[in-house]
Structure 1
Amino acid sequence: MGREAEEVREERVEVAPGVRLWYRAAGSGPAIVCQNGVGVTITFWEEFAERFARHGYTTVIWDYRGHGRSDEPREPNELTLDICVEDLAKVLDHAGIEKACLLGHSMGAQLGWEFYRKHPERVTGLVPTLGTYRNAVSSFYDMPRIAPKVFASASYVANSFPQFVKKLTGLAAWQPALSDLVVRKLEIVHPTLSPKGWLPPYLEHMAKLDPRVFFALAVAIKDHDASDLLPRIGVPTLVVAGERDFFCPPRVAKEMADLIPGAELLVIPGGSHAATIEQPDLFDLRLERFLEERVLARKQAEHA
């Protein structure tokens, strides 16, 4: 605990002709690979990955096509969960990782389900974090009738007038203090626990992101359903929820935990959709116990 990470590598891997994904691998030991939410770069995983690399793990963080330091997709509307699954497999191959515990924030949880569906032999554990397992749009603010209609309208505008939408998101990036005040007042993030430094880089990223790329993935997670898969999951699973997450409410997390054999559930008190950076110590302690008692213990038993 507390030692310096043994190695940090920033690499790019070609996943399609002319399309390379950026990733960062750090540390050594059992692998933890982190998946982002839609429209998000490594915001919610960067400091976590640094901490666990010092704690004796290999950690990998990466950006989807069109996000962060990765290349744009050949067509902005082409992205699907299946493409992201195979992109993740190529990142693992390039990083020399045979098996990993998959941590997924928001959309990253759904990516974890589908990666396990296609590559179960490469997964040592699953930690869906502040995410769902089906129709991510219907759970927004617990408005299953209204949210899909709002989403459909926003998707139409973004795909019809992408430059106009980019200008709107750019305005928010120019006013980070005001944007921070708004998201706290609306309790999109915890009013006092959410760190102040994360929002400006997120807004800058959103201002650069092609809205058509954003909504291609948003449609993918809206149409996604892993209900059939969850009862068949055979690796240790820790479901993480925020008590006040208005995007993926804790009742959805409980549904997931109930469907998965032997799954554990952590509900972060007062946690929003950014709960892991609001209360990182609580998240780290619970995750480390899960890794040691379930994931690593299972691996040791298989080799005994």
Structure 2
Amino acid sequence: MPGDGPASPPPLVVVPGMLCDAGLWSEVVFPEGHPVRHVELTKPDIGAMAEDLLSSVRGPFVAVGLSLGAIVAFEALRRAPERFRGLCVMSTNAGAPRPEQYAAWRAMDGLIADGRFADAVEQTLPGMFPTPRPPDASAERYRRMAYAVGPEAARAQLAAQATRHDAAGALRTARCPAVVLSGARDALCPPEFHRVIARAVPGAELREVPGAGHLLPWQSPAVVSSALRDLLARVRAAQPPAPSARPAPPAA
């Protein structure tokens, strides 16, 4: 497992959003020298997902999460703040679920239970892009990713959404460099959600991406790549130097 020694570059633990998989990050250039571990979201509880994140590597790490993946990172931060060396979250919400969200998740779960997974995916599609009618190629790419995730994992993710709670307290415990990315045209998680997160995390940097929607790693991969490079530079600067080796004792 990556992430053993204190002098080793911390691994990146990368967590996608709902109905997304590792393909979400295919155009992001991760900083060299840092192992990358992708975490799947298949458990019906945010706490269990957070434990999957924490058990994916040993020792300290940098968490990178989008949407539901960022919410999982918030819970992992609540459980083990001492293991975080950096935090990058985007397209997300740290607040507790609202009544209309519970209703929407129940309705979507009902569709999937009735064998209408494709209809459920179509309902989510408009919120993923800066415009309600994305280009056909972009929409088809999203459908393929959602279908690869599949109905079983989707129902688990919906159940997990309902176990969320307000993450403000956890965010205030962060003692690591952090960056918060927001698409200026994200209809699901608007910029104000991210301003709240950035205010809660001590020393967090907030970057708003003009013209972008919810799927930032697809819509603005260069911005995400640059933010990760800058974050890792801050992580390296904050890391205490490795202890110097003691000189050998003089020969007898």
Structure 1 length normalisation: TM-score?
Answer: 0.66
Shift of 1:209: 4.5
Shift of 1:58: 1.8
Residue identity over aligned pairs, in percent, reads 22
Q: After superposing the two structures, state which structure 1 stretch, 254-263 or 211-220, moved more.
A: 211-220
Q: How many residues align?
A: 235
Aligned equivalents of 2:150, 2:62: Cα separation in 1: 30
Q: 1:270 to 1:261 in 2, by over 3 A?
A: same
Q: 1:223 to 1:189 in 2, by over 3 A?
A: same
Q: 1:47 to 1:280 in 2, by over 3 A?
A: closer
Kept in 2: contact 1:35–1:104 (CA 8 A): yes
Aligned partner of 2:191 in structure 1 is 250
Matching of residues 203-242 of structure 1 within 5 Å: 203-207=143-147, 209-225=149-165, 226-242=167-183
- 3-state secondary structure, aligned to 2:30: helix
The answer for unaligned runs of 5 or more in structure 2 is 2-7, 245-252
Q: CA RMSD in A?
A: 3.2
Q: 1:39 to 1:113 in 2, by over 3 A?
A: same
Matching of residues 38-117 of structure 1 within 5 Å: 38-48=18-28, 51-52=29-30, 55-65=32-42, 79-93=44-58, 98-117=59-78
Structure 2 length normalisation: TM-score?
Answer: 0.78
- 3-state secondary structure, aligned to 1:92: coil
Task: Select which of 233, 236, 239 maps to 1:299.
Answer: 239
Shift of 1:34: 0.5
Query: Which AA in structure 1 matches 2:239?
Result: K
Which is strand-richer, 1 or 2?
Answer: 1
Matching of residues 1-304 of structure 1 within 5 Å: 29-48=9-28, 51-52=29-30, 55-65=32-42, 79-93=44-58, 98-135=59-96, 138=98, 146-159=100-113, 161=114, 164-166=115-117, 168=119, 186=126, 188-190=128-130, 199-207=139-147, 209-225=149-165, 226-292=167-233, 294-300=234-240
The answer for unaligned runs of 5 or more in structure 1 is 1-10, 12-27, 66-77, 139-144, 173-178
Query: Which AA in structure 2 matches 1:165?
Result: R
Aligned equivalents of 1:268, 1:283: Cα separation in 2: 10
